[in-house]
Amino acid sequence: MIDPVVDMQWVLEHRDRIKLADVRWYLDGRSGREAYEKGHLPGAVFVDLDRWLARHASPADGRHPLPDPELFAEGMAAAGIGDEDTVIGYDDAGGVIAARLVWMLRATGHDAALLDGGLTSYEGKLVSGPTSPAPAVFTPRPWPGDRLAGIDDAAAGAAVVLDARDSARFRGDTEPVDPRPGHIPGARSLPCRDNLRADGRFLPIPELRERFASVGVREGADVISYCGSGVTACHNLLAMEHAGLGKGRLYPGSWSQYSATDRPAATGD
């Protein structure tokens, strides 16, 4: 399996053997599809996070619970992504959204990676308008239990639990979308956007390893990653794997599920 992060040079060298997937999505309600149609990488298909990478939101399951494998397979097939394809996902936010697709593919045994730097790493002319990819064959595969964590796992305190949201949301200073402010007691703040340099590319691996070590993550550690709804948490998992620290587990319900319960919440640093 390829590394979870590849650069534009790698993409250009393998262009005929990969599928590019644009996974733009915005918490503020802007349309990812509209952004895609205004300008995307040549040959890229749009993958709708809300339609194909999650099932319907509910207080019991959170805002972006994992979809049924059959729904995910339907979305991949419709996007022209087949069982044997290598997929490179990107967005315009350093990969923090596209990480969800890449993690889902890798977790089910498919070759997939984030494009380091995302949309801004491409120096050529973008392509506008919609695309109509030829349908492919994508076989549903169950979500592997060893790559997932539930609410009880995240609350138990046995694993290193990482919160990928920004620091203000972790502390409980603000909470724009979920029922309560704060974080899971015992969780450690590791904002996923800080995995990146100012240009949107990943920090060098030694710096990533140091960053994870600062919150108790070393090679072989049992790690659970969460965020608001299980999307940007995937960025920390891919960064961790990229740094050679193992794969960790995703808590898909994340804070949107946890905060809808009466379980205790922590605030502050």
Position 222 scores a pLDDT of 96
Region 200-210 average pLDDT = 97
Selected catalytic residue, list 8, 227, 243, 250: 227
Percentage of the chain with pLDDT > 70? 100
When pLDDT is averaged across residues 38-46 and rounded to a whole number, the result is: 97
CA 47 to chain centre: 13
> How does pLDDT run across 241-252, given as a tens digit for each residue?
999 999 999 999
Q: What is the pLDDT of residue 264?
A: 97
Alpha helices in the chain (DSSP H): 8-13, 32-38, 49-52, 69-78, 98-107, 151-156, 167-171, 205-213, 233-242, 254-258
pLDDT of residue 82: 97
Q: What pLDDT, on the 0 to 100 scale, is given for residue 143?
A: 98
CA proximity to 113, closest of 10, 6, 231: 6
As a whole-number percent, the residues of the chain with pLDDT over 90 amount to: 98
Q: Is 192 a catalytic residue?
A: no
- pLDDT at position 47 is 98
**What is residue 73's predicted lDDT score, i.e. its pLDDT?**
98
CATH 3.40.250.10-classified regions of the chain: 5-121, 145-258
The whole-chain average pLDDT of the chain stands at 97
Quote the pTM value.
0.96
91 vs 131 pLDDT, higher one: 91
Tell which CATH architecture fits domain 145-258. Answer: 3-Layer(aba) Sandwich (3.40)
What's the pLDDT score for residue 85?
97
User: CATH class for domain 5-121?
Assistant: alpha beta
**How would residue 8 be classed by pLDDT, with cut points 50, 70 and 90?**
very high
How many other C-beta atoms are found inside a 10 Å radius of the C-beta of residue 123? 6
pLDDT of residue 249: 98
d(CA 90, CA 44): 9
Q: Which residues contact 213 (CB under 8 A, 6 or more apart)?
A: none
Closest CA to 5 of 251, 237, 269, 176: 237
